Each structure stands twice: as C-alpha cells, then as structure tokens.
A and B are shown apart, each in its own frame.
Chain A
Amino acid sequence: MGDLGQAGSAAIQLILGADVRLWSIVALSLKVSLAATVIAAAIGLPLGALVALKDFPGRNLAIVVLNACMGLPPVVVGLVVYLLLSRAGPLGPLGLLFTPGAMIVAQTLLILPIIAAVSRQIVADAWGEYREQLTSLGAGSVQAAATLLYDCRFSLMTAILAGFGRAAAEVGAVLVVGGNIDGVTRVMTTSIALETSKGDLPQALGLGFVLMAIVLAVNAAALALRNAAARQGA
C-alpha cells in the first residue's frame, strides 16, 4: 500500500509538472486513436447503415461476422497488419511498419467492426420506425441511410465513442505494429506495460491516470451532448 501511495503522489507530480516525456506520449496516443476513430467512423457509419437497410444475399452472414468481429483480439489484428506491412508483405513498399501510420491502420481495423456493428443496430431499430414514412416520401435506400444516420446522430455518438474507447485502451495492436519505440511509436498503453515491467511505477501510474481521465472526459461530454439533444426533442 505504501508503494502505491508513493507511486501515486509521484505520478500526480509528473502530471502536474508538465513532464515533457509523459505529455508527448499522451499526445501521440490521442493522435493515433483519434485518427483511427475518424477513419473507422467515416467507413463504419455508412457501412452499418447500408447493411441495416439493404437486402443482399449473405446479409445475415455479414451481420454475424460483423458482430463477431467486435471482439477481435488486438494482438491478432496487430499480427495481420504486421504481415501486410512487413517488408515482404503486399503493402511493404509503403514503409509504414513501426510508424504511427501503421498504428492508425491497426486501430482502424480493430474498431471498424465495433462502429459498423453498433451503428447497424441503431439504424436498423430506427428503420423499423421510419420505413413506411421514408418509403412514402420517395427515399431510396441511400437517401434513407443518409437520413437515418443524420436522425440517429446522437445515438451514433455512442458507437463512435465505444470505438474510441477501445482504440485508446488497447495495447496489443499498437505494440505489434508500432514496436513501442521511444519518442516515435510509444503510446500510453505500451508505455504503461513497459514501465510496469521495468518497475517505474510513477510513470506507469501517471499515464494510467491520464488515460482514465481522457476516457471519463469523453464519456461525460457524450452524455452532456445527449442530454442537450434530448431537450431539443432530438
């Protein structure tokens, strides 16, 4: 307990003291996970909406696979991206391996199924309510998908946040494709793992606090947004 207390107060000093090393790690983490979330949302929201609305052969299979992929193990995603980006791999010439770019690719693949599957569910539920009205107004399936994405925008924030939370908290994928290189690809989670194994508990705990604070802040913002939306009848 004494260890924890000491480490805790040292961690808080690091955070408050604007430790350059700590904050550069935080900044890279945010950059990678936010970029992955933006890309995954740009693909996953329309994908989820179209799977919700369009009837095509193999649709049920697609839904099952999509839902199953929500639980992809990060290290496996990391391994696949590693194989694709490694020098001998098909995307090797891009030279992305062990760069933040590779980490963004890996996290995008990791959270794309989450955003697509959750938004498919949200849009499918809304479609039940909207279907006759939108059909009557003459909307085709692409127009209906766009309308539902817009009308469900506040619920869909939940899907996007779930994706961001997963990306920010995972360690396996970024570790495998990024390599945890100090100053280049070291992010909060890989750093926490490393510092803990090295016994540098203040640094690990400090990053842990920051990570928790970010996740809490993001969710608080989401709740505030939802409440504001509810007041406006949205």
Chain B
Amino acid sequence: MSAESILPLELAEVGFSAGGNRILDGITARFEKGPVSVILGANGAGKSVLLRLCHGLLAPTQGRIAWDGGFGGDPRRRQAMVFQRPVMLRRSALANVAYGLAIAGVGRGERLASGRQMLERVGLLALAERPARLLSGGEQQRLALARAWVMKPEVLFLDEPTANLDPSATRAVEAIVAAIAGEGTKVIMTTHDLGQARRLADEILFLHRGRLIERAPKAIFFTQPHTPEAGAFLRGDLPWD
C-alpha cells in the first residue's frame, strides 16, 4: 500500500430512501484505520444498505459520504466487498481469484501466482482448478474472501459473511477475516450474530430502524449498552411492536 490512504471514511447526515421508504436516516460516522468495526442490528435495520452506501454501490439520497484520506485516485480501487451470497463466476476457483487482478491490469503470470498464494492462505489450493460453482457454501465464501483479499484492499466490507454457513465453515471464515484485519486491512462488517460480533469486533455500531443509535468499544457495548434498544437486542428480546 502506498503512503496515501483513502481512510478516514466520513459519513455526514447520510440518509437513504427507496420507493418512499426511509431505510437509513441521519447517519453520521467516521471510520478510521485500525479497529474492526462491526455493524450490529436486527434484520431490516439497514445494515446492508449502509455497507453498500459506504462501498459506493448505492448513492445516498441525503447527506454526504467522503473518503477523506490523501489518496488521489479512485477510492473504489482500494476497497473490496464480500457479499452474503457471493457470486461465483462460471470458471475455476483460481480464475475467480485472478479475475479482479485482471480487471486491475495485472499480467497473467503474476495474477495466477498471486491467486494460488491466496488460495493456499484460505485453504483452497487443492481445489484451484475446480469450477467455483461446484464448491460448497463455506468454500465459496472462503473463495470470495480470497478474491477480495488478493486485491490488497485498504478497506474490506463484509455483509453478513457467515449468514448461510454451518459452525465449522463459520469458524474458517472468521479465522480468515481475523487474518485479513491482522495484516492491516480495515474491516467493516455487518452481522446479526452476537457471538461473531464478540469474536471479531473491536467496536460496535448499533443500527436500529435505520438510525445509528449507539457506537462503543466492544467491551463497553456488551456490558453496559446505553440504549434500551441495544439492551433488548443483547438480551435477545423479540421486538415488542
């Protein structure tokens, strides 16, 4: 990574409406390099939309999102995202990992070498030539992580990366996410899995009905949440209305 960074990411009074429904409202936040930020909230709280806004897949209908670091180029090139249901290209696992590098103009030999290296790190090297769509759900998600990681992103967005996985596949994915964060990539992820938030997060952002109502370091959020909504979420209460 070059000296200039795209971080911090600045959100000012960001709102998003679609079809007359206000999905997000008045989100103001700043994401710095470093801590793993986990966006927590119930289904429909707006977590996925918030990630898509940050990543630039959606444009906010109110407010402003800016990458305030000194990086002069297209900030999109320094970010990657892994989706809840990753789309596997109809080609081999290795070709999937190499794809983003090809888009970025990396030569063939180098992309295959980097791709193999990355597959090894996520434990899929033995399946390099296997068509990606024939991999299991957990393998596909690890492949999606490799595909994002190989781009050496400064920021990695993860949208409920283990929502459809069994416990052992979830553990494998979490180990990879921890490794990515450990190498200095800023991870911003959503989950509704409290255990996962405890295991991976440094700080928690709690979304409730489209609003960011609480943000705290993990230890504080889980022991002394400020808002009754966060407290109810932590206790596993069902929504009362």
Contact = CB atoms under 8 A, between A and B. Distances in A.
Query: Is chain B a partner of chain A in the same complex?
Result: yes
Interface of A: 129-130, 132-139, 143, 147, 150-151, 153, 232-234
23 contacts: A130-B87, A132-B81, A132-B83, A132-B87, A133-B83, A133-B86, A133-B87, A136-B57, A136-B81, A136-B83, A137-B80, A137-B103, A137-B147, A138-B77, A138-B100, A143-B103, A147-B99, A151-B90, A151-B91, A233-B132, A234-B90, A234-B131, A234-B133
Main SS of chain A's interface residues?
helix
Nearest to B80: A136
B89 A129 contact: no
B172 to A, nearest CB: 21
Given A151-B90, A232-B134, A233-B134, A136 B55 contact: yes
B87 A139 contact: no
B73 to A, nearest CB: 12
B99 A135 contact: no
B170 to A, nearest CB: 21
Contacts of A138: 76-77, 100, 103-104
A137 B52 contact: no
A151 B89 contact: yes
A222 B83 CA distance: 34
A132 B52 contact: yes
Interface in B80-97: 80-81, 83, 86-87, 89-91
A140 B93 CA distance: 22
A137 B100 contact: yes
A65 B76 CA distance: 36
Nearest to B159: A132
Contacts of A232: 131, 134
A129 B103 contact: no
Nearest to B89: A151
A228 to B, nearest CB: 12
A13 B89 CA distance: 51
Contacts of A143: 103
Contacts of B90: 150-151, 153, 233-234
Contacts of A147: 89, 99
A234 B103 CA distance: 21
Contacts of A234: 90, 131, 133
A232 to B, nearest CB: 5
Given A136-B55, A137-B100, A233-B133, 19 more contacts: A129-B87, A133-B86, A134-B87, A135-B57, A136-B57, A137-B80, A137-B103, A137-B151, A138-B76, A138-B77, A138-B104, A143-B103, A150-B90, A151-B89, A151-B91, A153-B90, A233-B90, A234-B90, A234-B131
Interface in B46-65: 52, 55, 57
Interface in B89-115: 89-91, 99-100, 103-104
A49 to B, nearest CB: 15
A168 to B, nearest CB: 29
A233 B131 CA distance: 6
Most-contacted residue by chain B among A130, A136, A233 (CB, 10 A): A136
A135 B81 CA distance: 10
A151 B55 CA distance: 25
A133 B1 CA distance: 23
A181 B103 CA distance: 52
A116 B86 CA distance: 29
A143 B105 CA distance: 11
B57 A132 contact: yes
Nearest to B135: A233
A150 B96 CA distance: 13
Contacts of B52: 132
Contact of A137 (B91, B99, B134): B99
Lowest 8 CB-CB distances: which A-B pairs, in order? A233-B133, A233-B134, A233-B131, A133-B87, A151-B90, A137-B100, A234-B90, A136-B81
B69 to A, nearest CB: 18
Contacts of B86: 133
A233 B132 CA distance: 8
A133 B96 CA distance: 12
A136 B99 CA distance: 12
B187 to A, nearest CB: 15
A150 B90 CA distance: 8
